[in-house]
Amino acid sequence: MQFETVKPIVVPNALEQVTDEQLTKFGTLIYQRTGIRISPQKKTLLSNRLRRRLRDTGIKDFGEYYEYLRRLPNNDPEWDAFLQEITTHETYLFRDEKQWEWFSREYLPSLAAEARTPQQRTLRIWSAACSTGDEAVTAACCIAACLPNFNQWRIRILGTDIGLGAIEQARTAVFGERAMRLVPESYRTRFFQKAKDANVWQARPVITAMLTFRQHNLLDRLREPAQDLVFLKNVLIYFDADSKRRVVSNVREVIRPGGLLVCGAAEGVGELLRDFIRVQPWLYRKPQTTAH
């Protein structure tokens, strides 16, 4: 009787690292596809993350995995799994509380005061790089709580992220206790339902009805109608000057004249928004007419 010989899968041992040349190659590939810069100090981190991909794909070494990845289109599930390993998805509801205070107490009341006719009751918000959707859901909660007669408005909150896994998670609108830690008690009971057998919270239909999620790379233009407000937070910190410029150019294009951009504290986009009006260190208004 003959046994088929099964080739053993050789996975680099735990101490093996990418070479400097491989680090550069992976760094260039990641940069070209996402705009994210991997610094040379991330060699160990990248090696550890890559090792997990080798284990899951059965590919034997870093070099072969690089060649495999390089040939795959951006929408291949393996790219998504790889990006999942190298990107940070940290997010939670009501992150940067003072921005939500502004959104609820200043922005929404001013919108309500300005919208005199039913046709003007339209609101388009884009949560760019939304990860698991916490920012978009927070916006929906504030609208439901603070925009008078919000159900008479046409509201669309679009959440996008490069990670398909993150988008799929966002679509479930289910959040754990950690993500929910800053949600006011009254909002929890009004806008979420606690699962019977797990410590997770499901956003209610009044919230999810406002939300749409889809995959999108910020290096590409967003093909959507003009937006009233864009959140661009905690993503450009991983980008270099060139890709920041590209992203900001794509984002500014989709903001309507007079519309607003909310940034993270460390986004570093001030120089790129010199023709915008700086309302707060984290808040920019697009002029009614701009050179762009």
When binding is defined by CB under 6 A, the residue of 18, 36, 123, 180 that contacts ligand SAM is: 36
Whether 123 and 151 have beta carbons less than 8 Å apart is answered as no
Which of 287, 251, 256 has the alpha carbon at shortest distance from 269? 251
Identified binder of ligand SAM from the candidate list 38, 162, 254, 263, rule CB under 6 A: 162
Minimum CB separation from ligand SAM for residue 161, in Å?
5
- By CB under 6 A, residue 91 contacts ligand SAM: yes
Of 216-245, binders to ligand SAM (CB under 6 A) are 217-219, 233-235
Residue 49: which of 106, 96, 88 has the closest Cα? 88
Q: Which DSSP string do the residues of 140-157 spell out, in sequence order? A: HHHHHHHSTTGGGSEEEE
| Strand stretches in 132-226, DSSP E | 154-161, 174-176, 192-194, 200-203, 211-215
User: What's the min distance (Å) between Cβ of 64 and ligand SAM?
Assistant: 25
Q: Which of 23, 26, 35, 125 binds ligand SAM (CB under 6 A)?
A: 35
159 strand-pairing partners = 127, 213
Please choose, out of 13-21, 57-65, 88-96, 199-207, the segment that lies near ligand SAM by the rule CB under 6 A.
88-96
Structure token pair of residue 274: 């010199």
Q: Is 80 in the site for ligand SAM (CB under 6 A)?
A: no
261: helix, strand or coil = strand
The least CB distance from residue 162 to ligand SAM, in Å, is 4
Q: From the CB of 101, what's the least distance to ligand SAM, in Å?
A: 16
Q: How far apart are the C-alpha atoms of 124 and 276, rounded to whole Å?
A: 19
Q: Which of 38, 139, 143, 166 binds ligand SAM (CB under 6 A)?
A: 166
Nearest distance from C-beta of residue 279 to ligand SAM, angstroms? 19
Q: What is the DSSP letter of 239?
A: B
The nearest distance, CB 188 to ligand SAM, in angstroms, is 19
The distance of closest approach from Cβ of residue 282 to ligand SAM in the complex, given in angstroms and rounded to an integer, is: 11
State in angstroms the smallest separation of the CB of 80 from ligand SAM.
10
β-pairing, 255-263 with 283-285? Answer: antiparallel
The interface region with ligand SAM, picked from 130-138, 172-180, 221-229, 275-283 by CB under 6 A, is 130-138
- CA distances (Å), origin 112, targets 24, 55, 109, 158, 211: 52, 54, 5, 20, 20
Closest CB to ligand SAM: residue number: 91
Structure tokens at 149: 């007669």
Residues 170-199 contacting ligand SAM, CB under 6 A: none
Please pick, from the candidates 30, 54, 129, 251, the single residue that binds ligand SAM as defined by CB under 6 A.
129
Tokens of 191: 């806008």
Q: Which residues contact 196 (CB under 8 A, 6 or more apart)?
A: none
Residues near ligand SAM (CB under 6 A) are 34-36, 87-91, 95, 129-131, 135, 161-163, 166, 217-219, 233-235, 264
